[in-house]
Amino acid sequence: REFGKPTEIYIDPDRMKEALLNIFTNAVHALHGKGTIFVKTYVDGDSAVIEIQDTGKGMSEEILPYIFDPFFTTKDTGTGLGLTIAQRIIEEHNGRVEVESQPHRGSIFKVFIPLQSEIKNSK
């Protein structure tokens, strides 16, 4: 864990918890029982950043463009909706998700949330 200076952001805590939980769940699955998940928070320009890095199996360049698509999954089980939901919730907060990944080296998900922004209505 590496946490930067506390920063005030405007979020729906329940929705953001759901988004981050989906990202963490994928990270745990990528580890296959061994490895590490690192969490880092910091400010980058006008955004608060939550960075989630795992030492799991990683993803190829061919897979990365599809990971937020509904029903896309590389797992034997699951719906393929976790990252789709996470991205939608983050976008409702006027944020964005960036992903870096390499096979056999793990993945880094960076969640950017504006420091001052109103939440879009999700209904």
**What's the Cα-to-Cα distance from 12 to each of 18, 19, 28, 47, rounded to whole Å?**
10, 11, 24, 16
Amino acid letter, 104: H
- Report pLDDT digits (tens) over 65-117: 999 999 998 887 888 999 999 999 999 999 999 999 999 999 999 999 999 76
Distance CA 25, CA 47 (A): 24
3-state helix, strand, coil in the chain (%, to 5): 25, 30, 45
Between these two residues, 31 and 122, which has the higher pLDDT value? 31
- Residue 120: the pLDDT is 67
Distance CA 42, CA 122 (A): 26
Between these two residues, 70 and 118, which has the higher pLDDT value? 70
- Residue 6: the pLDDT is 81
The answer to whether residues 87 and 44 touch, using CB atoms and an 8 Å cutoff, is no
Alpha helices in the chain (DSSP H): 13-31, 82-92
